Amino acid sequence: MKTSNIFDDVPTKLDAEQVTDLVREGGMCIKRIVSTGHTTGWLNPDDEEWVVVLKGAAVLRFEEGDCKLTMRLGDWCYIPAGCRHRVGETSDKEPTVWIAVHFKVSETAASDVGAKV
Amino acid sequence: MKTSNIFDDVPTKLDAEQVTDLVREGGMCIKRIVSTGHTTGWLNPDDEEWVVVLKGAAVLRFEEGDCKLTMRLGDWCYIPAGCRHRVGETSDKEPTVWIAVHFKVSETAASDVGAKV
């Protein structure tokens, strides 16, 4: 059993995004990401990704359909593998704290997961 | 791409815990759980579980070592498969909102996941 708090030691100014692995187990990774005004280039992920914003604000951009998605406290987004996207903006007024879950779709039947809890 | 907000339509009083699948893909499930004073019996999960409290408060109890873990805003806990635990308390003053990630440890090398993002 491992425990901590998402909001512990959130830096207010960073040269580059801060990425911290919270859990990394075969086939899956849960990260905390802190951005302070950072953006990214286009990403073409090999993995499935689910992200949620827990502080601050951001804008994601998606190549398909030239979509723009504004993300504020509690907003989450599921980005399938191969979905080209980038972080277009993050707040420069306060740190933006994300949780990101990266995973590969396995052949385990989805219906078997989490059934007992 | 699928999007919503964790805090949308959080009920304030429930007969039973409310569990909503946000993502369910082969081998992995991300859920929102809302508790309003609910507890559980002992759970002996087949899957790995990672949980975070985003509103409210709760107490988890673990059989091994008779441990008690108080969880408040932002507290997270990684509970390996087979780790017997139960929800001992949840706030009766406000809803407790959890995100729970359930997954099975696959043979995919953990180092391969999330490497590009």
- Cα–Cα distances in angstroms (integers) from residue B26 to residues A24, A29, A49, A70, in the given order: 18, 15, 13, 28
In A, which residues are within 8 Å of B81 by CB distance? none
- How far apart CA A39 and CA A61 sit, in angstroms, is 11
B33 vs A contacts (CB less than 8 Å): none
Predicted pLDDT at A110: 53
Find how far residue B18's CA is from the centre of its chain.
Answer: 12
pTM for the whole structure: 0.90
Sign of CA dihedral B99, A29, A117, B24: positive
Contacts of B95 in chain A (CB under 8 A): none
- Parallel/antiparallel/unpaired status of strands A85-90 and A18-25: unpaired
Chain A 20-59, residues with CB within 8 Å of chain B CB atoms: 22-31, 43-50, 52, 54
DSSP states along B39-68: ----B--SSEEEEEEEES-EEEEETGGGEE
- What ipTM did this prediction achieve? 0.89
Question: pLDDT 10s per residue in chain A (117 long)?
Answer: 899 999 999 999 999 999 999 999 878 999 999 999 999 999 999 999 999 999 999 999 999 999 999 999 999 999 999 999 999 999 999 999 999 999 988 655 555 666 544
Residue by residue, pLDDT tens for chain B (117 residues) are 899 999 999 999 999 999 999 999 878 999 999 999 999 999 999 999 999 999 999 999 999 999 999 999 999 999 999 999 999 999 999 999 999 999 988 655 555 666 544
CA pair distance A79, A84, nearest whole angstrom: 9
A9 touches chain B (CB under 8 A): no
